[in-house]
Each structure stands twice: as structure tokens, then as C-alpha cells.
Amino acid sequence: MTDLLHRPLGPFTVSAVSLGCMNLSHAYDVAPPEADAIQLLNHALDAGLTMLDTAALYGGGANERLIAEAVGHRRSEFRLASKCVLDLRDGERVLDGRPESIARTLDEALVRLNTDHIDLYYLHRLDPNVPIEESVGALARAREAGKIGALGLSEMSAATLRRAQAVHPIAAMQTELSPWVRNAEIAVLDACRELGTAFVAFSPVARGMLAGAVRSPDFVTGDIRASMPRFQSPAFEANLALADRFAAIAAEAGFTPAQLSLAWVLARGPHVIAIPGTRSIAHLDENLAAASRPAAPETLAAVDALFAPGAVQGNRYPPAAQAQVDTERLPEEA
């Protein structure tokens, strides 16, 4: 087992670089063969990574089933995180934060995961039609029943976090954070620090853009980046130039671009945990190597200067997706 940096998350301690499992089943490019995904998940645990993050939405439950098949026999070696509220019902994506729907999704997830307990269970999005207090109450009752160990929120604002915290302690807030997505710095990152809530950063290498993995805006059918304004021309070309300058900063500091992006994210505070996703064992090892190697202050300052407000072109989400998140917006976002 590798000696990785660990950080607190509610009642747990997890590897500061853990694994987002979405792209093994959902949303990016083409999912890998199941045998390759199983090999990667086992390699992650062998390397000392201690949290796997999934959701009911990912592949319509396929990602949860994959984790059960791949590493269910190693359940004591990792913390299991999953999510509800966003789901697929009869092939359609739904946003449903009603307590009865949360309870249903959780029970279905327990079956798919072949377990009776999920360590960390998130509300994947805020349902604007249901008070956050009611949705959090459903999770609190699930915790009392022993079905989950800790409560989380995803893509929500500092104000919503405070309302949720008044109902039950919130162990984690999961939101996108990378050098080119910095909405969390408006308020929620500090709110998490104040309340003792871990901040779990998804897409910490900018959906591959700051890992050198994206060189063209031509994506396969179904890849969610195709609909994102930052990945569409002419914004893409301007952002690719930024990514190239970022890669030069990384090289000068002795990092790969992905490693510097992760080091920057982890430097936001000791309460921050990163969950990059990958389908490559080599990339997984590259990411984990960043977990215990901080970047120098002058390198972090160079990154901040490169990604100054307004530098990145295009909004983070298209309008329909933006309407489903509760995160604060930067001034330059329409």
C-alpha cells in the first residue's frame, strides 16, 4: 500500500486524492471494457486510495453495480460514496428530492452495491421544488436506520449548506473545483471550512483539459463536454491556449499538468479532497503521485495569475444544466 496523504471527511479519514468513478460507466468518451474497469478499481485500492465515489445516475445504476462486482469483496478497504436525487427513471433523467424518492433510490442503490451500508450519501443536486430541510431529513432518517454513515451535498451554495447544516451535520460538499472552475471560492469553500465540512472537488483536472487529454472539440456522441460552452469553438481554442501555458508552468515546476492541477486544488485548504476520474492505470498512478507533493507558492501564484477572473472563455454549463445547480456564479458568467 502506498503512503498517501489523508484528510478528514466527517467521521472518516480518506486519501486526499480519491477516485471519481463516473467515467467508467457514464458521460465521457466511450466506457472501457468491464474487465479493464475492474482491474483499475482493484489497482486503486492496491495503491492505497481509500474512497470511491459513484451515484445512482451514472449509467443508470451500472456504475454502482460495477463497483460491487469489482471490489465488493474488499469493502473494508475503502469508504463508499454515492448519491441520490438525480436519477434515471424509464430512461429519462429526473431530479427528485422528495423524501420518498430519496428512500427509494437509496434502497435500490444498496441492492446494486450489494451492501447494507453506504458510508457517505449525497444529495446530488438541489431540487428547487422541495425544501432542502425535507431532503436532508430523509438522509438523517436513513442514517438513523443504519443505511448510511454520513450526509453530503453536491453542487449547492453556501446558503443551502447552512440551511442543511441546521437540520443535520453535513460531512461533505462535492462541487467542481480546478484552476479553471473557481466558483467555490466565492463562498462555499470558506463555508465548508467554517462548518467543519469536507470539500470534495470533482473534475479537479478540468474534465481532462488540464491533464493534456483534450486537444480537439470533437467529442463522441454522448460525451457531456460537447454541450459545454467552454469546450465549443471559438472558446475551446482560447482555452486550449491557456491549457498549453498551464502545461508549461507545470513542466517548469517538475509536475505533469494533471499533478499541478491536483496540487493547486489540494492547496485550497486542508479540508479539500480531490476525486479525479480516469480509465487509465498509468494516469491513476500519476494522480496519486501528486497527493503528497505540494507545489511551491510561486508556482501556485503563477497558476492563479494565468487563470485570473475572465481568462477562461465560455460558461461552465449550458443553460439547462446550469438551471439544475445551486452553486454561486462568478461575475463573468451570464
Q: Which domain holds residue 148?
A: 6-322
Percent of the chain at pLDDT exceeding 70? 99
Is the distance from CB of 135 to CB of 97 less than 8 angstroms?
yes
What are the pLDDT digits (tens) for 72-94?
Answer: 999 999 999 999 999 988 888 99
Distance in angstroms (rounded) separating the CA atoms of residues 333 and 151: 30
Residue 332 binned pLDDT confidence (cut-offs 50, 70, 90): confident
Three cell numbers at 119?
Answer: 458510508
Q: Is the pTM of this model over 0.75?
A: yes
pLDDT recorded at residue 3: 74
Given 58, 121, 122, 317, which residue is catalytic? 58
- The verdict on whether 317 is a catalytic residue reads no
Average per-residue pLDDT for the chain: 96
Number of domains in the chain: 1
Q: Would you say residue 328 lies in a domain?
A: no
pLDDT recorded at residue 1: 43
**Cell match 494565468: residue?**
306
Examine the pLDDT at 2 and tell me if it is beyond 80. Answer: no
Q: Would you say residue 188 lies in a domain?
A: yes
The 3 state secondary structure assigned to the chain is CCCCCEEEECCEEEECECEECHHHCCCCCCCCCHHHHHHHHHHHHHCCCCEEECCCCHHHHHHHHHHHHHHHHHHHHCEEEEEECEEEECCEEEECCCHHHHHHHHHHHHHHHCCCCEEEEEECCCCCCCCHHHHHHHHHHHHHCCCEEEEEEECCCHHHHHHHHCCCCCCEEEEECECCECHHHCCHHHHHHHHCCEEEEECCCHHHHHHCCCCCCCCCCCCHHHHCHHHCCCHHHHHHHHHHHHHHHHHHHCCCHHHHHHHHHHCCCCCEEECCCCCCHHHHHHHHHCCCCCCCHHHHHHHHHHCCCCCCCCCCCCHHHHCCCCCCCCCCCC
Examine the pLDDT at 37 and tell me if it is beyond 70. Answer: yes
Q: Would you say residue 329 lies in a domain?
A: no
Q: Would you say residue 327 lies in a domain?
A: no
Q: Would you say residue 333 lies in a domain?
A: no
Distances from the Cα of 124 to the Cα of 73, 127, 239, 258, 312, angstroms: 26, 9, 28, 25, 26
Is the distance from CB of 285 to CB of 28 less than 8 angstroms?
no
Q: Would you say residue 100 lies in a domain?
A: yes
pLDDT recorded at residue 91: 84
Distance in angstroms (rounded) separating the CA atoms of residues 35 and 185: 39
What are the pLDDT digits (tens) for 132-166?
Answer: 999 999 999 999 999 999 999 999 999 999 999 99
Mean pLDDT score, 224-249: 97
Question: Which CATH number characterizes residue 32's domain?
Answer: 3.20.20.100
Q: Would you say residue 144 lies in a domain?
A: yes
